[in-house]
Amino acid sequence: MPRIALLPGDGIGAEVIAEARKVLERVAVQDGIALELAELPFGAQRYLETGRTITPEEMAAVEREHDAILLGALGDPRVPGNEHARDILLGMRFKLDLYINLRPVKLVDARFSPLRDVRPEDVDIVIFRENTEGVYLGRGRTEGDEYVAEEVNTGKGVERIIRAAFEWAKDHGKTRVTMSDKSNAVPAHRIWQTTFKRVAAEYPGLTTEHRFVDALAMELVREPERFQVIVTNNLYGDILSDLGAGLIGGLGISASANLHPGRAGLFEPVHGSAPPLKGKNVANPVASVLTGALMFEQLGHPEAARELERAVKAALAEGARTPDVGGTATTKDVASAIARKVGQ
């Protein structure tokens, strides 16, 4: 029985997670999955009421008692420093050592893409973003009017994310892995070059290539069909993932997973809490549903994952679209349409 810690989040995060939950429970029933969802109160409201974000004991319990974590977007203007989001989201990423940020870039409907004459099969990419190192560690110093940020790349950290990308490609029938860095300008990135070449030698059946990140950003727009699996560092992965989201219709339909094989993964739609949209019933629930599909796949239920993806595609094709992708449907309307497509 998969045990899921459900953290609804703030703003539209709570709204889309509530609607996605109905769809996930429906597919679980259809596929005979005894899904156990435990809703936990971590978010801005608890922080405002108690001054607590998430305690070490609560963090340990989440990891010990659950197989996965489904998290809605965090962020609330009543907490201008975003302390709760930092402790909960980044805390889980680092304390659970979720070093893989997996971001699929998959076009479900050509009408959503800004690219001309693109077909859904032309944009089917997975980005492996290193999730625990780089400049996101926040190391740095101030010396007068000079602000120095330190980027951390360790041998262990670089190798394990590169190896994860190769393993995923091999397991999912992909043929090409692309590594991206900026080693022509950043000497520290040479570790990415040497490690990528060494690991690639262990996978002779896969085609490998390197792209500097600026060139890759251009090529993703010009020729997305040539890319299948991309692996890169924390900062570049963040940027390229959002570029990829733009190719398929925006963050409202973009799923995400934070993983460490053998541990509870953290699954989150990455569109943000969008406080101005709270309560308007216009937020797109598709990203949350597709994030749930990633969760089912990681939990060992690929059939449920494929069914969710099929239901999303069918509902969108019939016009169940929120305003961000050119429609007029509400959050609840879209989720209900997807739920109806499950099993059809």
By C-alpha distance, which of 11, 7, 60 is closest to 272?
11
Q: Is 182 a catalytic residue?
A: yes
- Residue of 10, 76, 238, 333 marked active site: 238
Q: Is 47 a catalytic residue?
A: no
Q: Is 136 a catalytic residue?
A: yes
Query: Contact, 324 vs 252, CB < 8 A?
Result: yes
Query: Contact, 326 vs 256, CB < 8 A?
Result: no
Q: Which two tokens stand for residue 234?
A: 């924390």
- Residue of 97, 197, 214, 280 marked active site: 214
Q: Which two tokens stand for residue 182?
A: 């900026």
- Residue of 31, 109, 124, 242 marked active site: 242
Query: Contact, 112 vs 70, CB < 8 A?
Result: no
- Residue of 182, 278, 313, 332 marked active site: 182
3-state secondary structure 272-330: CCCHHHCCCCCCCCHHHHHHHHHHHHHCCCHHHHHHHHHHHHHHHHCCCCCHHHCCCCC
Q: Is 67 a catalytic residue?
A: no
Q: Which residue has the tokens 């992708």?
A: 325
Query: Contact, 247 vs 115, CB < 8 A?
Result: yes
| Burial class of residue 140, CB neighbours in 10 A (0-12, 13-18, 19+) | exposed
Q: Is 95 a catalytic residue?
A: no
- Residue of 10, 76, 87, 136 marked active site: 136
Q: Which residues are catalytic?
A: 136, 182, 214, 238, 242
